[in-house]
Amino acid sequence: MTLDEFRATLRAEAPPSGLSRPLEALWRIANDEWDAAHRLVQSGAGIEGAWVHAHLHRIEGDRSNAAYWYRRAGKPLAEAALDKEWADIAGALLSAQE
Q: What is the pLDDT of residues 5-44, one digit of tens each?
A: 999 999 999 999 999 999 999 999 999 999 999 999 997 7
What sign has the CA pseudo-torsion 62, 68, 73, 77? positive
- On whether the CB atoms of residues 48 and 93 are closer than 8 A, the answer is yes
pTM of the model: 0.94
How far is 35 from 30, CA to CA, in rounded Å?
Answer: 12
Give the pLDDT mean for 72-84.
Answer: 96
42 Cβ neighbours under 8 A, 6+ residues apart? 53
Give the pLDDT mean for 73-98.
Answer: 94
Q: What is the pLDDT of residue 84?
A: 98
Q: What is the pLDDT of residue 8?
A: 97
